[in-house]
Amino acid sequence: MKEQLLREYARLAVRTGVNLQKGQKLLIQAETECAPFVRILTEEAFAAGAFDVIVRWNDQLIARERFLHADDSLFDDVYPWSVMMNDQLSAEGAAFISVSAEDPSVLKGVDPDRIRRFTTATWQKNDKFYARVMASRIPWNVLAVPIAPWAEKVFPGKSGEEAIELLWDAIFRAVRVREGVDAVAEWEAHCRRLRERAEKLNAYAFAALRYENALGTRLTVELPEGHLWTGGSEKDEKGIDFVANMPTEEIFTAPKRDGVNGVVCSSKPLALNGNLVEGIRLTLKDGRITDIHADEGEEYLRAEIEIDEGAHYFGEVALVPYHSPISESGVLFYNTLFDENASCHFAFGQAYPTCLEGGADLSKEELLARGLNAESNTHVDFMIGTSDLSIIGVTRDGKEIPVFVNGDFAI
């Protein structure tokens, strides 16, 4: 049964995740420990008619050694061959699959400034590639494969293969892969439901959202005129549907860059650059983060926000009901791919241009003029949803409409 589920998962990633077309190239980025699943992914890609499958391997323990011991100047640049690969393949319209399999504490003890500088260099050197990704010009997909350190964090008291099997089961449930079920058909229906919810929100054309809960969140989020809520699948520049994240339960848009005011508190730990950040509390005035606090890992959160000026502003507002499937599973994944789909969340850093009418065809200057946070070298989601979260939508003519009541959609 496990072999069947793995193949269905790989088929889902290829056929629905990136919706690979015949004659299209595919780049897979994965940890070395994920090699067995990557081989299955490769088989499914060629079965779908891939022109070629290129695999770029990472090893997080080697990455840790580099961050700890490499020459300090290394973290201000990126090797040109890496940039050339991303540029050439994305310009050709290749598809990209990223296999997430990270120990959430793998970079504990690493100098946060080294991480900040390397993140900045990576985004700056790969600016053309990331512009294509953020504007959905190319199909891309992120999914996950369990490894022992991650599984043991999620299931304390379990170890090795037992923990990995438990995490596999949780992942399969989250991505709707079940024995005897066509996962591709399941996802077609799921994406349709998310799009229908997004269309309801778009019909309101809210001017602002007001958040409040017992954790201490008191936040008003203005939305730019012409903003678009989206969810489920997206379309690349050729009009082909793809699903960027598996799982996904969110409906999201972009806030007005200078229109966020108040205090927001996190509800779940954030796995950030190989470190855990807990108890986040951010204060914002006229959109800008003016005060940063975390009970644990604050230095890593602060380093990420201080990457550039744009990182001090929000780029995403996402709605996920408290009683969503991942939340109701009771599993804390310590992985944003899953945890953000169990909770309403925000992201600081760059916004997705597709969250604005005609945004994919606008320059950074035009996007900024229309209210989006269009320039930053990061995009970091953090979770804020709770069972008592209240969100009030304010329309352009001043009407107040409950959007969330007690953590769930009210519309």
Q: Residue 64, class by beta-carbon neighbours within 10 Å (0-12 exposed, 13-18 middle, 19+ buried)?
A: middle
Q: Is the pLDDT of residue 1 over 60?
A: no
Q: What is the pLDDT of residues 293-302, one digit of tens each?
A: 999 999 999 9
- Domains of the chain, by residue range, sit at 2-174, 204-409
pLDDT of 381 > 80? The answer is yes
What percentage of the chain exceeds 70 in pLDDT?
100
Instruction: Judge whether 398 and 370 are in contact, CB under 8 Å.
Output: no
pLDDT in tens, 263-291: 999 999 999 999 999 999 999 999 999 99
pLDDT value at residue 65: 97
Displacement of CA 74 from its chain's centroid (Å): 27
pTM: 0.95
At 124-136, the pLDDT tens digits run 999 999 999 999 9
Per-residue pLDDT, 225? 96
Q: What are phi and psi of 408, to 5 degrees?
A: -130, 160
- Among candidates 224, 289, 230, 225, which has minimal Cα distance to 255? 224
The domain covering 2-174 belongs, at the CATH homologous superfamily level, to Thermophilic metalloprotease (M29) (3.40.1830.10)
Q: DSSP character for 230?
A: B
Q: Is 390 helix (H, G, I), strand (E, B) or coil?
A: strand
